[in-house]
Chain A
Amino acid sequence: MELKSKDLLGIKELSKEEIALILDQTKSFKEISTRTIKKVPALRGRTIINLFLEPSTRTRTSFELAAKRLSADVVNISGTTSAVAKGESLKDTAKTLEAMNADLVIIRHSASGAPHFLAKLLRCGVVNAGDGTHEHPTQALLDLFTINEKFNRLEGVKVAIIGDIAHSRVARSNILALNKMGASVILVGPPTLIPPEIEEMGCEISYDLDSVLPEADVVYALRIQLERQKESLFPSLREYTTLFGMNKRRAELLRKDSLIMHPGPMNRGIEITAEVADLPQSVVTNQVENGVAVRMALLYLLIGGGEVV
């Protein structure tokens, strides 16, 4: 089996079988990162461009490591150092990259739909590394892998996603991915941070975190951004933390085998306290580790030879 598209634009475009294929492939690649020599020749001679037009440390590094561990050549382009900063349009940037015969362009962009725009212009593949408030498909894939690693299943797993759903591409990709794999999702946050009609994407909504926690297999805290306060979306970080922060008392409402997740970077003391972030149930560092393996699997399936390593 192969992936159907040359691109990974979002979880929306993936079938359940394709997701399962990526997760399966991830298992075999995860081991490579634990070796002393962390490199296999699977993508030798391939050129991958990391086009990061919005600041990012972990996702860019994760993609870069994934590509390098597969022996691909990686070029990083960032918003501040590229011609984009001089006013070049995304169309011209895309045409330029194509002329350099890249095999894959990985794009992070502040505008929702930018990868879709790029994919229509390019013959080579495009991977969405986060577009605006739309999708962040590789984050959802690494989250699925992490959950599956702990529970050995996704079917029937109950995931509570907490916080700023409205501005979260991580939440959207996870809602889609978890639904496709048979897990259930409940969103928790103030009504101002829950976007309209999101129930139709396949989730429930609650404004009461304490009542959700005893039932949850996974608690997924999202990063809250201070500037949302200025948009009148909530009165203060203090009030937000009181209502929706994961603290010790709330962690004790969880079952012992439940997981605590966060896409990073964490605001310790705001959406999650330091002591909760460092609990054994917290798998935040596993998420980061799995991120490299998932991206290796994805790059390999998109531009590798096709035969399973």
Chain B
Amino acid sequence: MSKVLIKGGRVINPLNRVDDIRDVLIENGRIKKVDKGISVSADKVINADNLIVCPGLIDIHVHLREPGREDEETVETGTRAAVKGGFTTVACMPNTEPVADSAAVIEYIKEKARSNALARVLPIGALTKELKGEELSPMNELIEAGVIAFSNDGESVMDAEVMRRALEYSKMFDVPVIVHAEDKQLSVNGQINEGLYSTVLGLKGIPAAAEEVIIARDLILAKMTGAKIHFAHVSTRGSVELIRRAKEEGINVTCEVTPHHLTLTDAMIESYDSNYKVNPPLRSEIDVLALREGLKNGTIDAIASDHAPHALHEKEREFQFAPFGVIGLETTLPLVLTELVEARELSLLSLVEKLTINPAKILGLDLGTLSEGSAADITIIDNKAKVKVDINNFQSKSKNSPFHGWVLNGKVSCLIANGKVVVEDGNSIIPCKEGV
């Protein structure tokens, strides 16, 4: 009978629109009670005066690189980065080596999670075999092994017939198909957003149309099949507009945006620093404004990091030879707190919603809330603390972040994952032998 009492924090629970000073009592790994002035003798009392207490954050788009590229990240280091950044749950993409297209690979990831993970790890299964976009993956086998969604990740399915059948077949399992929308022919050899900067820098452009063409196609296919579709990392004004109209029409669609697409533009690539090389590429100011507007008006449901670790020697290269991707688990929360909440573009309640209950709903998870009886996943945030981002202090094995040196507001003060205190006093991560 272990009891933890969190006292005096500003509790934000988007599910029931609570934003008020409350105490939270945890008993046996579950939330027992959320109320004003709870007085009970607890085994541990956490003073949350002047701090924000919210459901544990959920990142539905990360790459943990295990199995295959353990030099870049592992389930252990990736989840260490997650809890440091405030995330109690991460959903990991299937582009591992081998690809997560069989129960064996899913079992392997889950076994690593059981023994080493500090956060919940929810594997996403491959939509097609080896992510080739040709044949359907064994979806039932993957569901039974525990995947919570299907995705072809960066390997956009170019064959519309395969995509149609994949969406149709997935309906049996009531999980979303997560789409990285990229027409591989329109984006061929592309390096950065197509526009003035691709012209000036002499780097092959990836037009906004490469994303929008696939979003339009897949919205039509989602409407036709009635499948649940979720678009990963939307990056253009046109994408937001297509999804807004589809939602109005009643199509079963959700989408996410990354912190880097909300805060950076292609103008920053002038130095040819490959830490700005991501896919989809950083777009223009107009797109950034449209993404922020989409978050505000609810077109964009969630914020996800697309945490993509890469080895230093692979990133430290000529721009066009470097791989796409940036890491984000340890910078997402302070970035959006600073750039959206401090800048008064989004309320704290809306922001927390897009990092907790909305991602939970997208994946059909019973998480992301502080409701009584739910799992005790709680993130306590000091949103006033100023932090200078330093890649050398990351828990992640990789350092490919464009935010090195940025001064941001917001720090995770304490994190409880499944009832266990995993982060305390800001920095110290408690080793957690048996996993979460």
Give the segment of B149-157, B190-198, B401-409 that binds chain A: B190-198
Q: Are B317 and A135 within 8 A (Cβ)?
A: no
Known contacts A132-B202, A172-B202, A201-B200, A111 near B318 by CB under 8 Å:
yes
Contacts of B316 in A (CB 8 A): 89, 91
B321 contacts partner chain A, Cβ-Cβ < 8 Å: yes
Chain B, 97-140, CB within 8 A of any chain A CB:
none
Chain A, 184-216, CB within 8 A of any chain B CB:
195-198, 200-201
Q: Are B317 and A196 within 8 A (Cβ)?
A: no
Contacts of B271 in A (CB 8 A): 116
Q: Are B194 and A196 within 8 A (Cβ)?
A: yes
From the candidates B196, B205, B313, B319, name the one contacting A113 in the complex (CB within 8 A): B319
Contacts of A196 in B (CB 8 A): 194-196, 198-199, 205
B216 contacts partner chain A, Cβ-Cβ < 8 Å: no
A114 contacts partner chain B, Cβ-Cβ < 8 Å: yes
Chain B, 255-303, CB within 8 A of any chain A CB:
271-272
A134 contacts partner chain B, Cβ-Cβ < 8 Å: yes
From the candidates A116, A132, A134, A200, name the one contacting B196 in the complex (CB within 8 A): A200
Chain B, 10-24, CB within 8 A of any chain A CB:
none
The distance from the CB of B323 to the nearest CB of chain A, in whole angstroms, is 14
Contacts of A113 in B (CB 8 A): 201-203, 272, 318-320
Chain B, 323-351, CB within 8 A of any chain A CB:
none
Contacts of B196 in A (CB 8 A): 196-198, 200
The distance from the CB of B304 to the nearest CB of chain A, in whole angstroms, is 29
Within the assembled complex, what's the spacing in Å between the Cα atoms of A201 and B198?
12
A181 contacts partner chain B, Cβ-Cβ < 8 Å: no
Within the assembled complex, what's the spacing in Å between the Cα atoms of A215 and B92?
61
Contacts of B201 in A (CB 8 A): 112-113, 134
Q: Mark B182-219, 1 if CB is under 8 A from A, else 0.
A: 00000000000011101111111100000000000000
The distance from the CB of B38 to the nearest CB of chain A, in whole angstroms, is 56
The distance from the CB of B243 to the nearest CB of chain A, in whole angstroms, is 24
Complex: chain A residue closest to B189, CB-CB: A231
Q: Mark A82-121, 1 if CB is under 8 A from B, else 0.
A: 0000000111000000000000000001011110110000
Q: Are A132 and B198 within 8 A (Cβ)?
A: no
Contacts of B199 in A (CB 8 A): 195-198, 201
Q: Are A91 and B202 within 8 A (Cβ)?
A: no
Interface centre among A113, A135, A198 (most CB of B within 10 A): A113
From the candidates B200, B205, B317, name the one contacting A90 in the complex (CB within 8 A): B317
Contacts of A201 in B (CB 8 A): 199-200
From the candidates A90, A131, A195, name the one contacting B198 in the complex (CB within 8 A): A195
A33 contacts partner chain B, Cβ-Cβ < 8 Å: no
From the candidates A89, A90, A112, A200, name the one contacting B202 in the complex (CB within 8 A): A112
Q: Mark A123-152, 1 if CB is under 8 A from B, else 0.
A: 000000001111100000000000000000
Contacts of B205 in A (CB 8 A): 195-196
Within the assembled complex, what's the spacing in Å between the Cα atoms of A169 and B201?
10
Complex: chain B residue closest to A121, CB-CB: B316
From the candidates B202, B203, B318, B319, name the one contacting A135 in the complex (CB within 8 A): B202
Complex: chain A residue closest to B321, CB-CB: A111
Q: Are A90 and B195 within 8 A (Cβ)?
A: no
Contacts of A131 in B (CB 8 A): 202
Within the assembled complex, what's the spacing in Å between the Cα atoms of A297 and B194?
36
Contacts of A12 in B (CB 8 A): 200
Known contacts A109-B318, A111-B320, A116 near B272 by CB under 8 Å:
yes
Chain B, 156-201, CB within 8 A of any chain A CB:
194-196, 198-201
The distance from the CB of A300 to the nearest CB of chain B, in whole angstroms, is 28
Contacts of A134 in B (CB 8 A): 201-203
Q: Are A111 and B319 within 8 A (Cβ)?
A: yes
Q: Are B202 and A114 within 8 A (Cβ)?
A: no
Q: Are B319 and A112 within 8 A (Cβ)?
A: yes
Q: Are B200 and A89 within 8 A (Cβ)?
A: no
The distance from the CB of A134 to the nearest CB of chain B, in whole angstroms, is 3
Contacts of B195 in A (CB 8 A): 196-197
Chain A, 155-204, CB within 8 A of any chain B CB:
169, 172, 195-198, 200-201
Within the assembled complex, what's the spacing in Å between the Cα atoms of A91 and B321?
13
Q: Are A112 and B203 within 8 A (Cβ)?
A: yes
Complex: chain A residue closest to B313, CB-CB: A89
Within the assembled complex, what's the spacing in Å between the Cα atoms of A288 and B387?
56
Within the assembled complex, what's the spacing in Å between the Cα atoms of A132 and B204?
10
Contacts of A91 in B (CB 8 A): 316-317
Within the assembled complex, what's the spacing in Å between the Cα atoms of A113 and B201?
8
Q: Are B272 and A112 within 8 A (Cβ)?
A: yes
Contacts of B320 in A (CB 8 A): 111-113, 132
From the candidates A89, A116, A172, A198, name the one contacting B317 in the complex (CB within 8 A): A89
The distance from the CB of B314 to the nearest CB of chain A, in whole angstroms, is 10
Within the assembled complex, what's the spacing in Å between the Cα atoms of A113 and B318?
7
The distance from the CB of B193 to the nearest CB of chain A, in whole angstroms, is 10
Contacts of A132 in B (CB 8 A): 202-203, 320
Within the assembled complex, what's the spacing in Å between the Cα atoms of A90 and B204?
21
The distance from the CB of B276 to the nearest CB of chain A, in whole angstroms, is 11
Interface centre among A12, A90, A196 (most CB of B within 10 A): A196
Within the assembled complex, what's the spacing in Å between the Cα atoms of A197 and B318?
24
The distance from the CB of B197 to the nearest CB of chain A, in whole angstroms, is 9
Within the assembled complex, what's the spacing in Å between the Cα atoms of A196 and B194?
7
Complex: chain B residue closest to A53, CB-CB: B318
Complex: chain A residue closest to B196, CB-CB: A197
Within the assembled complex, what's the spacing in Å between the Cα atoms of A172 and B271?
17
Contacts of B203 in A (CB 8 A): 112-113, 132-134
Q: Mark A207-229, 1 if CB is under 8 A from B, else 0.
A: 00000000000000000000000
Within the assembled complex, what's the spacing in Å between the Cα atoms of A109 and B321?
12
Interface centre among B198, B200, B205, B317 (most CB of A within 10 A): B200
The distance from the CB of B282 to the nearest CB of chain A, in whole angstroms, is 15
Within the assembled complex, what's the spacing in Å between the Cα atoms of A195 and B205?
9
- Interface residues of chain B, those whose CB is within 8 Å of chain A, are 194-196, 198-205, 271-272, 313, 316-321
Query: Can you report 8 residue pairs joining A to B where beta carbons are below 8 Å apart?
Result: A12-B200, A89-B317, A113-B202, A113-B272, A116-B272, A134-B201, A135-B202, A201-B199
Besides A113-B203, A117-B319, 7 other CB < 8 A contacts? A89-B316, A91-B317, A111-B318, A113-B320, A114-B318, A132-B202, A196-B196
- Interface residues of chain A, those whose CB is within 8 Å of chain B, are 12, 89-91, 109, 111-114, 116-117, 131-135, 169, 172, 195-198, 200-201
